[in-house]
Amino acid sequence: MDFELMQKVYPFFLEAAWVTILLSVLTAILGLTCGALGAAARLSRFWLLRFIGAAYVSLFRGTPALIQLFILYFGGPQIGIQLDAFEAGVIGLGVNVGAYMPETMRGAIISVDKGQGEAARTLGMSKWQAMRNVVLPQAMRLMIRPLGVNLNTLIKSTALVAAISVVELTYTAQRYIGSTYKPFEMFLIAGLLYMIIIYVVGLAVTWADRKARLN
């Protein structure tokens, strides 16, 4: 193992790690937004919204994320959508991971005893107020762990954007392999940095879960 080479290229991998972190944060925000909208659509009393929510989940869960990235980045210009690689990565992965969240959110909301919402309504709250002040706080306790799993999957999925030339960890490893012919060392550095990022996210999810259960 070439430790001297690993030491030389390590700073460049740190820069790529920051790109991976930024990509993960922006993608998670978009994914959670899409997931919340999808869950709201699935819970709607209007059949059209329920159909749109189900279609969104089926479409993006039923096709590979890599194909979705290729369509958005390479096929987008044909229909007037001009995005750089980073923007395409954020949107493509965000919309994809968001399709895995509605059922988690919907299941957590449904699992809250209906009597809780009905009791809030008898106290004069509107349906929205009951949902915001009574149902959602209880459902959040059940959402955090599963959503944390989705976030971990998302971080690992950011490796896919190397295929559209986003300079993140996987792309950086591939680039240095081409010039050093040392795949083991390059992928080892990338893998360790991925593990550190995921470990920190896991700690944050555990802290949020404990705090939610104590409140």
The mean pLDDT value for 146-156 works out to 91
pLDDT score at 96:
95
Residues 37-68: tens digit of each pLDDT: 999 998 888 899 999 999 999 999 999 999 99
C-alpha to C-alpha distance for 81 and 26, rounded to whole angstroms? 20
Query: Among the listed ranges 3-12, 21-30, 61-70, which one has the minimum average pLDDT value?
Result: 3-12
Q: Which domains does the chain have, with CATH numbers?
A: 3-214 (1.10.3720.10)
State if pTM tops 0.75: yes
Collect all residues with Cβ–Cβ distance below 8 Å to 35 and sequence separation of at least 6. 97, 98, 99, 100, 101, 102, 104, 105
Residue 215 has pLDDT above 70, yes or no: no
Residues 165-189: tens digit of each pLDDT: 999 999 999 999 988 888 999 999 9
